[in-house]
Structure 1
Amino acid sequence: MTDVLEDLQWRGLIALSTDLDELRAEMAKGPITYYCGFDPTAPSLHIGHLLQVLTVRRLQLAGHNPLALVGGATGLIGDPRPSAERQLHSRDQVAEWVEKIRGQIEPYLDFTGSNAARIVNNLDWTAPMSAIDFLRDIGKHFRVNKMLTKDAVSARLNSDAGISYTEFSYQILQGMDFLELFRRYGCRLQTGGSDQWGNLTAGTDLIRRMEGESVHLLATPLLTNSAGEKLGKSTGGGSLWMDAGMTSPYALYQYLVNLEDAIVGGLLRQLTFLSREEIDVIDKETADRPQARIAQRRLAEEVTRIVHGAHETDQVIAASQALFGRGELAELSASTLRAALSEAGLASAPAGSTVADLFIAAGLVSSRNEARRTVAEGGAYVNNERVSDAEEAVPAERALAGGLLVLRKGKRTFAGVELTAM
């Protein structure tokens, strides 16, 4: 019951906490009930949320009782960002996202046995409450001067954007969630991201004021690169979504494979269930052969498998090898191949176009002369087959699944072309 705290510390998953010794003593008495909240502010969770989901899973595997809260109420309000107001989404939109996020969380938890998980929605206890009851019963216990010290609130107060009363009230709603789960299920621990610390403490303060009880908090670190940028954002491509339609398995895998050495060891601990012994071996192999990117490849494989399953991961790995001539392109599914080529650059051209035209369309060369020179030097490939004539026409029959061609210049530069009817 308590070993999980040592494991979380070893994995670097405890950035902030209330009193670990008190939490350890309470866990030693038997399973505790804990919760983590997820707001439906988008149709999918992202890799930062994955860290939270896996932390919930680790605590359940240690025997504790998980509550996963999907914020049908808080999702209508929006957690204040330091920069500007969030866009308010319609009730129907948020309700749809609640179901999508619920479906993303469920596969990670066990809903059977003595410590079966529950998924709860804070709209269930927030919607029936009148504004008068909210202000008298809950708002009365919050002090504005303390609310103003929360990081996101203070940042907004000092900006031109300011902050609306709606978003200012978000911390009261989250505090009420912890109180309600404490009363309904005996919940005594909340987990969340360290950037949420101000909102997390709202719940512990409220429970202490209204129930006279001390409860616990664990906050995980943000997933950032060495420059402090959130993972995914550093590429300029936005979040790394868990929905395959928003971030393809191939894109997720390639992003992780290309992570900098300085952070990959920490992410292996935080985003996988690999043991200390396995990670120690990977650390040593990576130190001995950094150019092999052993840690990055293992991280990419493990995380892609956790999020998208074994089959998709196998397809992604096969695609990564085949695109560089180390595997069979014909064995890849159309969806995996399209996702991979979309990341590299996917153009379109009529069937029957010449090799030179295709390489120009794909952006691999800038002119016919460059295309001819690349072919003459033996550096032009179509579907991993070296071509010897820049003016050779490429018929539709040469296309792979989905009407796609893989063009490669040299050993490592590739792009895709989708053949269209002439």
Structure 2
Amino acid sequence: MTSVLDELQWRGLIHQSTDPDALRSELAKGPMTYYCGFDPTAPSLHMGNLVQILVLRRLQLAGNKPLALVGGSTGLIGDPKESAERTLNSKETVHEWVGRIRAQIEPFLDFDGAYGATMVNNLDWTEGLSTLDFLRDIGKHFRVNKMITKDAVATRLKSEEGISFTEFSYQILQGMDYLELFKRYGCRLQTGGSDQWGNLTAGTDLVRRVTGESVHLLATPLVTKADGTKYGKTEGGTIWLDPELMSPYAFYQFWINAGDADVINLLKIFSFLDREEITELETETAEKPFARAAQKRLAGEVTTLVHGKTETEQAIAASQALFGRGALEELAPSTLRAALSEAGLVQVQDPQLSVAALFKEAGLTAGLGEARRAVAEGGAYINNERVVDADAPVPGDRRLHGRFLVLRRGKKTIAGVEFV
């Protein structure tokens, strides 16, 4: 039977660990309680956080007990960035974001049975802690000469801006989390990203100093493309998990546009497909890359995990319908608007604008003359129907959901119009 560590290794999810052999031995003995922390420094989690959520889930499926920590106190401080001091958010904002992030994590975990998950908030054990108790009971176990060697701290110390005592203390707060979870739940493993290694080791060091016990860390690598560049950003910004910040359609499009050199790695990290299925897709990608079978499977799997089956089906339907391979009328207004926003959506007020004027406004042609030529050559479509009169307005009853038109020039160039 393949151990969970072997599975994580095959999926490229182990970058660093404190003592791999000891961790393997403890995992083999039976259920291990482990945790990962998520700070509410934004209203949503993103692609990088999804890696950690799925690691929590994989370890739970292997028969271990997860603690998912949302940092109500660490979120008030913020993990130090190498570039500059963070802007502190209000307590009310952080409290709201704690609830939003908790709601994003919960669907991925089981909360019943022998391996049931527990949600925790570090504000529970820090809010009532006095400054004197914090300095006497916790601060005395940290050595400043070691704290300043952490990458982000060292970088900031060399900058003109420096680093505030507030952000400098972040690693102490995170270290407290491991100690508290060790005492309350017998937690013996923390997972996180490799860029957090300095903060992660603050916890193991504190547990050892206070209790004499050795506990474990497991860090995942940063997810990068085959050329070494980072994932997680598009021209539109971060790959958010919240549908209000990134529509399920845009989310689906991000994954389906993965390169052939990256798609198998992404399937290993972000899907629960087994080795046999992924190997088959790897072979198909090598032999028939034009079919993009792996990309389609990746986009479907990840979008379903994050947004559910219905939204995934809508995203697929929109992808097909925009190019004449499905019924535009069957798309939900939110999905259609999201799809058109990705393609390029313009808002117009004049319901009497001609077809040529609409194509010009949408940016599909440089001017009215070019729009008329496109119509005359049979290469202009509205709602997937070929246009024959460039100078006529589009009847109001042609609008999808009463306000949208899908404009297409040729086979692949799409834009949208929304009447306001």
Equivalent in the alignment of 2:157: 157
Aligned partners of 1:12 and 1:352: how far apart in 2?
Answer: 57
For residues 1-35 of structure 1, the C-alpha deviation after alignment (integer angstroms, 9 at most, x for no partner) is 97111110100011111111101111111111000
CA shift for structure 1 position 395: 1.7
Corresponding residue of 2:388: 388
In structure 1, distance between residues paired with 2:2 and 2:284: 31
**Partners in 1 of 2:315 and 2:161 — Cα distance?**
43
Aligned to 1:244: 243
1:151-201 CA distances to partner (integer Å, 9 max, x unpaired)? 111111122221111111100100110000000000000000111000000
Aligned to 1:146: 146
Q: Deviations over 1:243-291 (max 9, x none)?
A: 1010000111111111222221111000000010110111011111112
String of CA shifts for 1:63-116, please: whole Å, max 9, x gaps: 101000000000000001110111100111101110111111111111100111
Query: In 1, Cα distance between the equivalents of 2:402 and 2:176?
Result: 51
Alpha-carbon distance between aligned partners in 2 of 1:359 and 1:228, rounded to the nearest angstrom: 40
In the other structure, the counterpart of 1:271 is: 270
Give the secondary-structure state (helix, strand or coil) at the position aligned to 1:262: coil
Give the deviation of 1:402 after TM superposition: 5.0
| 2:266 counterpart of 1:255 | no
| 1:337-416 correspondence to structure 2 within 5 Å | 337-349=336-348, 350-416=350-416
- List per-residue Cα deviations over 1:113-136 (Å, max 9, x = no partner): 011100000000011111111111
Query: Which residue in the other structure is 1:306 paired with?
Result: 305
State the aligned residue count: 419
- Structure 2 counterparts to residues 1-400 of structure 1, below 5 A: 3-233=3-233, 235-349=234-348, 350-400=350-400
Quick one: distance in 2 between partners of 1:33 and 1:55? 13
Is the Cα contact below 8 Å between 1:71 and 1:122 reproduced in 2?
yes
Q: Which runs of 5+ in 2 are unaligned?
A: none
The normalised TM-score by structure 2 is 0.98
In structure 1, how many angstroms separate the alpha carbons of the residues matched to 2:14 and 2:345?
42
Take 2:368 and 2:176, find their aligned partners in 1: how far apart are those partners?
Answer: 67
Other structure's SS at 2:12 match: coil
Letter of the 2:324 counterpart = G
Is residue 2–residue 28 contact of structure 1 (8 Å, CA) maintained in 2?
A: no
Structure 1 residues not aligned, in runs of 5+: none
Matched-pair contact (CA < 8 Å) for 1:344–1:415: yes
Letter of the structure 2 residue corresponding to residue 357 of structure 1:
A
Q: Tell me, what secondary structure is at the counterpart of 1:401?
A: coil
Secondary structure of 2:35's counterpart equals strand
TM-score (norm 1): 0.97
Please give the secondary structure, in 1, of the residue aligned with 2:261.
helix
1:182-229 superposed Cα distances (whole Å, 9 cap, x missing partner) = 000000000001110000000011111111111111111112234444
- Aligned partner of residue 279 in structure 2, secondary structure: helix
**What displacement does 1:236 show?**
3.3
8 Å CA contact 2:181–2:187 kept in 1: the answer is: yes
Distance across 2 between alignment mates of 1:28 and 1:397: 65
| SS of structure 2 residue aligned to 1:187 | coil
Paired residues of 2:396 and 2:402 also in contact (CA < 8 A):
no
Measured against aligned partners, the alpha-carbon deviations of 1:288-323 in whole angstroms (never above 9, x if no partner) come to 111222222211111111000000000000000010
Cα contact 1:231–1:239 (8 A) shared by 2: no
SS in 2 for 1:261: coil
